């Protein structure tokens, strides 16, 4: 991997060409077998009536929150599945209370301790893969029967090594990494929905 951009690029149009080229190359580095396993786990968890938890910091928090929408509303619409998905990044009151009284490194793990049960799934999103609160959540999940999916970039950090399923993007640019994490979120939700459409004959008329 090389840092992008490594020198100033004068024109926005040239930057766009470079960016989209890097985006395409980075997308090719994502392990497709890991995508397959993640999709299977998400569908099995939803079908079993178990919960999916997701978390992230900053831009990754936005992806985690968006994931709830695309699963709870997106997957459910026209399909046989009713996913139960909770973002640990969405409740500012509990996040700030835990962060202030206990420590920011505990904001996700502390919530999991109260909410998660064996058989649930945690989707942890971290561009660096090294955020202490993300690693703490993955470690707790693995010790308590909760399956883990990590979306990472850069070196992948501890999250890449710890997670049961690693969706890793080989890139050194936050925008490219987050774009592809968002794409992974969308494609996993859309794939799951189309595979479980209640009436497959209606598929050509359904909007994704």
pLDDT at 156 over 80: yes
pLDDT confidence of 191, banded at 50, 70, 90? very high
Instruction: Kindly report, residue by residue over 68-126, the tens digit of the pLDDT.
Output: 999 999 999 999 999 999 999 999 999 999 999 999 999 999 999 999 999 999 999 99
* Paired residues of 84 in beta bridges: 51
Q: Where are the beta strands (DSSP E) in the chain?
A: 51-56, 84-87, 121-126, 147-152, 165-168
CA-CA distances (angstroms) from residue 77 to 15, 46, 58, 208? 38, 14, 29, 10
* pLDDT of res. 166: 98
Q: Is the pLDDT of residue 58 over 90?
A: yes
Sign of CA dihedral 15, 126, 161, 37: negative
**Structure confidence at residue 3 (pLDDT):** 82
State the chain's maximal CA–CA distance in angstroms: 54
Q: What is the pLDDT of residue 1?
A: 66
Please tell me the pTM assigned to this model: 0.95
Read off the pLDDT of each residue in 5-11 and give the average, rounded to a whole number: 90
Identify the CATH homologous superfamily for domain 12-201.
Answer: Glucose-6-phosphate isomerase like protein; domain 1 (3.40.50.10490)
């Amino acid at each position: 991997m090389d840092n992008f951009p490594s020198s100033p690029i004068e024109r926005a149009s040239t930057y766009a060409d470079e960016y989209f080229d890097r985006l395409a190359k980075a997308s090719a580095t994502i392990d497709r077998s890991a995508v397959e396993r993640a999709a299977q786990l998400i569908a099995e968890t939803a079908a079993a009536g178990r919960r999916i938890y997701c978390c992230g910091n900053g831009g990754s928090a936005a992806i985690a929150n968006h994931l709830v929408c695309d699963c709870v509303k997106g997957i459910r619409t026209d399909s046989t599945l009713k996913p139960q998905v909770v973002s640990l990044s969405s409740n500012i009151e509990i996040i700030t209370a835990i962060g202030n009284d206990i420590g920011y490194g505990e904001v996700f793990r502390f919530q999991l301790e109260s909410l998660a049960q064996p058989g649930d799934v945690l989707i942890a999103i971290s561009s660096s893969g090294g955020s202490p609160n993300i690693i703490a959540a993955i470690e707790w999940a693995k010790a308590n029967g909760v399956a883990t999916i990590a979306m990472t970039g850069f070196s992948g950090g501890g999250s890449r090594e710890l997670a049961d399923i690693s969706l890793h993007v080989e890139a050194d640019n936050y925008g490219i990494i987050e774009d592809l994490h968002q794409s992974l979120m969308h494609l996993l939700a859309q794939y799951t929905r189309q595979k479980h459409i209640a009436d497959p004959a209606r598929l050509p008329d359904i909007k994704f």
